Amino acid sequence: MSDLWPEYCHQLAGGWKLLSYEFYSGEPPNAKLVSRPHGTSPLGRSHLSRNGYLSAHLATPARMQFSDSDVPWAKRSDAEIANVARGLSMYCGYLQLFKDDQGLFWKTNVEIASDPTRVGGVQTRRVEYLEENGQAFMVLRLVDPIALEDGTQAHAVLKWQKVESA
């Protein structure tokens, strides 16, 4: 399988803003929404460089605030830092884009991540590119289901809007 990034980079390269991050149980069209891990208005930015480097940052808005904003980060308690850290999901690395009978997907070789278990691994996402009313959107679907705290196997779906060209 050859890397199709050069063919699609003009559409996908650039800055992206996260619009939604949702977990579903079951398969479409009967999939049921079970969770929004970063809330109804998640914070998220992703950048895809023209040469295929991905950097993704997601956050839960409620965890990104302190009641006393004048205390520097380095002087915060371990509990305060842990609260923020649990609301963050970040990773970066080079990706390769492929196509199979289900459509486009990319594999990112993770170099750095907020979750150390991802470092050195591969993150695989199904990719759908859409244009609506002059705006570009990208829908990413995690290939492997995620086990939620209650044991439910869920499929993650993230919708992004392009905010800048590379």
pLDDT tens, position by position, 42-68: 999 999 999 999 999 999 888 888 777
**pLDDT recorded at residue 66:** 73
Residues of the chain scoring pLDDT < 70: 166
The secondary structure element, H or E, covering residue 20 is strand 14-25
**pLDDT recorded at residue 8:** 96
Residues 80-99 have pLDDT tens digits of: 889 888 889 999 999 999 99
**pLDDT recorded at residue 71:** 85
Q: What is the DSSP string of 51-114?
A: TSEEEEEEE-GGGG--SSTTS-GGGS-HHHHHHHHHTEEEEEEEEEEEEETTEEEEEEE-SEES
> What CATH number is given for 5-165 in this structure?
2.40.128
**pLDDT recorded at residue 152:** 82
Amino acid, res. 41: S
- Ordered by start, the domain boundaries in the chain are 5-165
SS3 111: coil
**pLDDT recorded at residue 37:** 84
